[in-house]
Structure 1
Amino acid sequence: MSGIVDGRVVVVTGAGRGIGRAHALAFAAEGARVVVNDIGAGLDGESTEEHPAEQVVAEIVAAGGQAVVNGDDVADWDGAANLVRTAIDTFGQLDVLVNNAGFLRDRMLVGMSEAEWDAVVRVHLKGHFATLRHAAEYWRGRAKAGNPVDARIINTSSGAGLQGSIGQGNYAAAKAGIAELTVQAAAELKNYGVAVNAIAPAARTRMTLGAGGAMAEAMAAPEDGFDAMAPENISPLVVWLASAEAAHVTGRVFEVEGGRITVAEGWRHGPSHDKGARWEVAEVGTVVDELLAKALPPEPVYGA
Structure 2
Amino acid sequence: MDVLHRTAELRSALSGRPPPAFVPTMGNLHTGHLALVRQAREAAAARGAPVVASIFVNRLQFAPHEDFDSYPRTLQRDCELLAEAGCDLVYAPDETELYPEPQDVLVQPPAALAGVLEGAFRPGFFTGVCTVVTKLFGAVRPQLAVFGKKDYQQLMVIRHMTRQLSLGVEILAGETARDVDGLALSSRNGYLSPMERAEAPALQAELRRIAQALAEAPQADAARLAALEQQAMATLRARGWAPDYVAIRRQRDLAVPQDGDARVVLAAARLGRTRLIDNLELDRP
TM-score relative to the length of structure 2? 0.39
Q: Which has the larger radius of gyration?
A: 1
Structure holding more strand per residue: 2
